[in-house]
Amino acid sequence: MIQQIVNQRVNQVSADELYQYAGKYGIPITKNQAARIASRVHGKNIDLFSLSGQSKLQKILSEEIGPQLASELKKRFEQLVGRY
């Protein structure tokens, strides 16, 4: 159930929401980067809990915000998922 909610939110996130979430969690991205990321994931049905889905998102993030920050976000996600 939690996985479905998380996946649904990611696949429907708007640029403004993504930018606000980034600011809330101290992730340094611009509004333009948030817009590009949101447009690339919107409606793509990326499953963050599968290896292929994680790879797709990692590729998008690496291209839009750089591999170092994308790698850091992946680590944060893995820590968060490890709690559940």
Domain around 26: 2-82
- Per-residue pLDDT at 1 exceeds 70: yes
- Residues 23-58 pLDDT 10s: 998 999 999 999 999 999 998 999 999 999 999 999
What pLDDT, on a 0 to 100 scale, did the predictor assign at position 33? 96
Work out the end-to-end distance of the chain between its first and last CA atoms, rounded to an integer number of angstroms. 12
Render pLDDT for 50-65 as a digit per residue (tens, 0 to 9).
999 999 999 999 999 9
pTM for this entry:
0.86
**Both structure tokens of 40:** 């690339």
Q: How many domains does the chain have?
A: 1
* CB distance 81 to 40 below 8 Å: no
